[in-house]
Amino acid sequence: MRILGVPMDLGQRRRGVDMGPFAVRYAGLYDRLAALGYKVHDAGNVVVPVPEMTRDDPTLADQPTARHLPAIAQVLREVCAASRAIAAAGDIGVFLGGDHSISAGTIAGLASDDRLGVVWVDAHADFNTPQTSPSGNVHGMPLAALLGDGPTSLTSLAPGGWRLDPASVIIVGLRNVDGEERRRLVESGVGVYTMRDIDERGMASVAGEMVRRLSHVDRLHVSLDLDSLDPDVAPGVGTPVPGGLTYREAHLLMEILADSNMLRSLDLVEINPILDKGNATAEIAVELAASLLGQRIL
């Protein structure tokens, strides 16, 4: 098992999410995973430019419809290569964000595997493109890019024109979607379970159906945006949305995904220690990672 930090702060506007990898390490990630029997190696952090550096470097020039895109794409090429190397070694990758833009790189690194499923646990769909995004924040674009829609520097990270298959992608926890993003998402063929689905049916039913829908894949990547949780549980996120997953709903989802025995890699993203209360959000991220990687109550 290999841990890689990506202190990416360029995909959104609230400062502090670059401290996520440190907060998750302070919360004891390494020891928790080692206690589950894994041989853990922490590879440290990828180097990410800070926003101030992009002001006077013309190669990192800003763009209003996709802010900091050149700098983000430069980092994601390295993240993609690292993810590919971890997968090629048959290792489990645990990627610590940083904002959710990093997942365009971590998942592109798994591109050689055509039986790859992705579970995107998020309050948002991250399904915008520079043309549809109201904010120009790249952290709202990674899932669209992985499906082939977006700036070339994001859609071409994987070799050979690889695209994620929409039938192998499921979003869960959704409760906040932009107008044009909604239309594109509905037409995409991606599986979606909203908070209403979870309210009405319960997480056990929803998560069980998700696993059945992914029966055609044999490897699973879970991209866990901590804003999927209710802000009362996980306050340290940049874009909190009320009405999210409870503590137990999130754990049950992780436990049911763990039972599938398909988990090969994981993103823990959007943790903002500056907005957090006593590192509670990073601690929950560690607990959820442990559940996903096989920790059981009994």
The verdict on 178 binding Mn ion (CB under 5 A) reads no
Q: Catalytic: 287? A: no
The mark string for 101-130 relative to Mn ion (x by CB under 5 A, - otherwise) is ---------------------x---x----
CB of 26 to Mn ion, least distance (A): 22
Which residue among the candidates 99, 149, 178, 225 is catalytic per the annotation? 225
Which residue among the candidates 68, 100, 221, 251 is catalytic per the annotation? 100
Which residue among the candidates 99, 178, 227, 287 is catalytic per the annotation? 227
Nearer to Mn ion, 126 or 230 (CB): 126
The answer to whether the beta carbons of residues 119 and 211 sit under 8 Å apart is no
Which residue among the candidates 9, 18, 99, 122 is catalytic per the annotation? 122
Region from 15-23, 94-102, 165-173, 207-215 binding Mn ion, contact rule CB under 5 A: 94-102
Interface with Mn ion (CB under 5 A), residue from 181, 225, 230, 287: 225
The verdict on 100 binding Mn ion (CB under 5 A) reads yes
Residues that bind Mn ion (CB under 5 A): 100, 122, 126, 225
Residues with a known catalytic role: 100, 122, 124, 126, 139, 225, 227, 270
